[in-house]
């Protein structure tokens, strides 16, 4: 047992937790921690804004399937992380945020750069801590990582007063935390699994609905095996894209407000819906009373509070998605249950009819269509890139027209819908996967919210690519104004904007622009081949909409079509 400073204890625990990278921004309250960080081999990525640090830690966590870490100072440094933490919380992403705090004797005195960040983030973190004694530091940090990565993952904040990081305490390596009040259920109830199998055996028109929980639990292989065994079509939430191969014949496409016609109609007509790792949020369900009206519903999720929260279910199964699917596949093996393609033919034929009559479509004319850009991006990358997105129409077009065959390749702010997410998340993903191509699909509105992080990419020679679908509007809101507000485009016109290609050059990155359809492929090729960061600015049709679209308050079958 050694006597160490609080800052040394923090570094010791981070090493034990196998932390390789921290995204941060320094300040006076945490200067001791940064000084100690410089003595380790942990990589520090200096962001340009603390929101960028939180989003980068999020992107890193998703791409690497590990815990992302950010380190920021007190006061505004801490409050600037709130949007990033809220986004990670909504999407169940394991992030540990270390925030500086004024010395304990000054807490509550309105000291310089003091905020109650524990109180502020209580609603948008899985758990948070204010460490008041250096003696408690190691235990709290170990608990923070344990809580962040276990059960339903999520962000955890640890607030570190300056005197705690400067103080000294006896330190020894601690075992895995034991928290009697926190025991996530990983193993599902066998009786519930058997009930689910009975419903599966009787179903004529089943649909498998995959969510972010499938990706977080590493259950993609088990899900694919299950769906193929049933010959059941598969749809997914925005967060679930990549959990099932997007080029498979059983793939329906994304579900919900901007889901495919065939996916939404399949939910309308199915007799069994098997939801795995999903929340049934409003963007998926549309009008709750009209959601899957003819179906019995099986719901598998590790979080018991998510089950029947939004949609009543027939068979609830609390457990880890991978463990639950393994058990269900095992029960089907034990009972030698087989499903023939012939028995599914009427159902699959109906789905094929929906697909052929109402496919995703657009018409490429004189102006660049954003869908065309995404299609060409998919072709040139062969579907192998890690795609991050900003939020808005760009996000939906990426989800619709880029086909994800593998998990952890689509990184987006789903639940919170946080504009400014994509670029710092791409930086985090690139750090996590240095040999992969990482592309941020952006809108001209969202990209400006954290465009300063381009300097971070340039400083660390992170070859992230940014594809801007530039319609000079806040496009998603504009689309609603077009459809429901008689084209009164209030506060959505973004005609006044920088020249993004020149701005990229000012940061030291490659800047390219395309204004004609025939320029799209050449600009993409040049930008994607660039050895460093690049911005590709595509001037797309200004009033192009995202379709299908389910209006607010409507059922999934009440889609507006292109």
- What's the pLDDT score for residue 536? 98
Predicted confidence (pLDDT) per residue in 105-152, tens digit: 999 999 999 999 999 999 999 999 999 999 999 999 999 999 999 999
Residue spans in the chain of domains classed CATH 3.40.50.1220: 190-357
Region of residue 253 (left: phi > 0; alpha: psi -120 to 50; beta: else): left
Q: Is 88 exposed, middle or buried (0-12, 13-18, 19+ CB in 10 A)?
A: buried
Mean pLDDT of 294-303: 98
Rg (CA), the chain: 24
Tokens of 379: 């072709």
Cβ atoms of 543 and 533 within 8 Å: the answer is no
Give residue 562's pLDDT band: very low, low, confident or very high (50, 70, 90): confident
Each residue's pLDDT tens digit, 331-355: 999 999 889 889 999 999 999 999 9
Q: Where do the CATH 3.40.50.970 domains begin and end in the chain?
A: 2-171, 370-539
Torsion 448-452-458-463 (CA) sign: negative
Q: Using DSSP, how many helices (H) and how many strands (E) does the chain show? A: 22, 20
Please identify which residue in the block is written with the tokens 């309105």. 110
Top-level class of domain 2-171: alpha beta
- Distance (Å, rounded) from C-alpha 432 to C-alpha 62? 9
The pLDDT tens digits of the residues spanning 208-259 come to 999 999 999 999 999 999 999 999 999 999 999 999 999 999 999 999 999 9
386-422 per-position pLDDT tens digit: 999 999 999 999 999 999 999 999 999 999 999 999 9
Does pLDDT of 269 surpass 90? yes
Q: Report how far residue 421's alpha carbon sits from residue 477's, in angstroms, rounded to the nearest whole number.
A: 18
Residue 50, preceding peptide bond in cis (omega within 30° of 0): no
Please provide the CATH number assigned to the domain covering 370-539. Answer: 3.40.50.970
Please indicate, yes or no, whether the overall pTM of this predicted structure exceeds 0.85: yes
Mean pLDDT, rounded, for 26-47: 98
For strands 296-301 and 315-318, give the pairing. parallel
CA distance 352 to 219: 27
Active-site positions?
50, 112-113, 162, 476
Lay out the sheet containing 386-389: strands in order across: 410-411, 386-389, 438-443, 465-470, 534-539, 510-514
**pLDDT digits 0-9 by tens, 414-438:** 999 999 999 999 999 999 999 999 9
Mean pLDDT of the chain: 97
Rounded distance, CA 285 to CA 291, Å?
6
CATH architecture of 190-357: 3-Layer(aba) Sandwich (3.40)
Q: How far apart are CA 259 and CA 433, in angstroms?
A: 29
Q: Do 114 and 101 form a contact (C-beta atoms < 8 A)?
A: yes
What separation in angstroms does the CA of 148 have from each of 61, 69, 80, 143? 11, 11, 20, 8
Distance CA 302, CA 322 (A): 10
């Amino acid at each position: 047992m050694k006597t160490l400073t609080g800052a040394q204890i923090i570094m010791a625990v981070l090493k034990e937790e196998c932390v390789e990278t921290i995204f941060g921004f320094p300040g006076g309250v945490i200067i001791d921690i940064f000084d100690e960080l410089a003595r380790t081999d942990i990589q520090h990525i200096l962001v340009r804004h603390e929101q960028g640090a939180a989003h980068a830690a999020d992107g890193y966590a998703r791409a690497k399937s590990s815990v992302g870490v950010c380190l920021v100072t007190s006061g505004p440094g801490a409050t600037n992380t709130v949007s990033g933490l809220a986004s990670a919380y909504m999407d169940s992403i394991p992030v540990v945020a270390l925030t500086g705090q004024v010395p304990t004797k000054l807490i509550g005195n309105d000291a310089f750069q003091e905020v109650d960040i524990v109180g502020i983030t209580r609603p948008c973190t899985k758990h948070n801590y204010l460490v008041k004694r250096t003696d408690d530091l190691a235990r709290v940090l170990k608990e923070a990582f344990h809580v962040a990565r276990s059960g339903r993952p999520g962000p955890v904040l640890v607030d570190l007063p300056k005197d705690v990081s400067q103080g000294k305490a006896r330190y020894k390596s601690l075992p895995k935390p034991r928290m009697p009040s926190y025991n996530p259920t990983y193993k599902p109830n066998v009786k519930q699994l058997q009930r689910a199998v009975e419903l599966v055996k009787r179903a004529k028109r089943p649909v498998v609905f995959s969510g972010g929980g499938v990706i977080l639990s590493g259950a993609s292989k088990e899900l694919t095996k299950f769906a193929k065994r049933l010959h059941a079509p598969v749809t997914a939430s925005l967060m679930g894209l990549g959990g099932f191969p997007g080029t498979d014949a059983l793939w329906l496409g994304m579900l919900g407000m901007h889901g495919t016609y065939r996916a939404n109609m399949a939910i309308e007509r199915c007799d069994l819906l098997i939801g795995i790792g999903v929340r049934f949020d409003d963007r998926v369900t549309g009008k709750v009373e009209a959601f899957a009206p003819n179906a019995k519903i099986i719901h598998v999720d590790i979080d018991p509070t998510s089950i029947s929260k939004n949609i009543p279910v027939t068979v609830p199964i609390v457990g880890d998605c991978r463990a639950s699917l393994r058990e269900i596949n095992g029960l089907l093996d034990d009972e030698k249950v087989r499903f023939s393609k012939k028995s599914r033919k009427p159902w699959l034929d109906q789905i094929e009819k929906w697909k052929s009559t109402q496919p995703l479509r657009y018409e490429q004319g004189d102006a660049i269509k954003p869908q065309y850009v995404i299609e060409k991006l998919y072709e040139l990358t062969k579907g192998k890139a890690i795609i991050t997105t900003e939020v808005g129409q760009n996000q939906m077009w990426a989800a619709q027209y880029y086909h994800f065959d593998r998990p952890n390749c689509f990184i987006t702010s789903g639940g919170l819908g946080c504009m400014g997410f994509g670029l710092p998340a791409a930086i985090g993903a690139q750090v996590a996967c240095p040999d992969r191509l990482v592309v941020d699909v952006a809108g001209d509105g969202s990209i400006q919210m954290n465009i300063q992080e381009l300097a971070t990419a340039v400083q660390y020679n992170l070859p992230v690519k940014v594809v801007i679908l530039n319609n000079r509007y806040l496009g998603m809101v504009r689309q609603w104004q077009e459809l429901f507000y008689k084209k009164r485009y209030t506060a959505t016109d973004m005609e006044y904007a920088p020249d993004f290609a020149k701005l990229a050059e000012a940061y030291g990155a490659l800047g390219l622009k395309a204004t004609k359809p025939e320029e799209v492929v050449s600009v993409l090729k040049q930008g994607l081949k660039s050895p460093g960061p690049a911005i590709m600015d595509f001037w797309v049709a200004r009033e192009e909409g995202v379709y299908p679209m389910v209006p607010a308050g409507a059922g999934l079958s009440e889609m507006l079509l292109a």
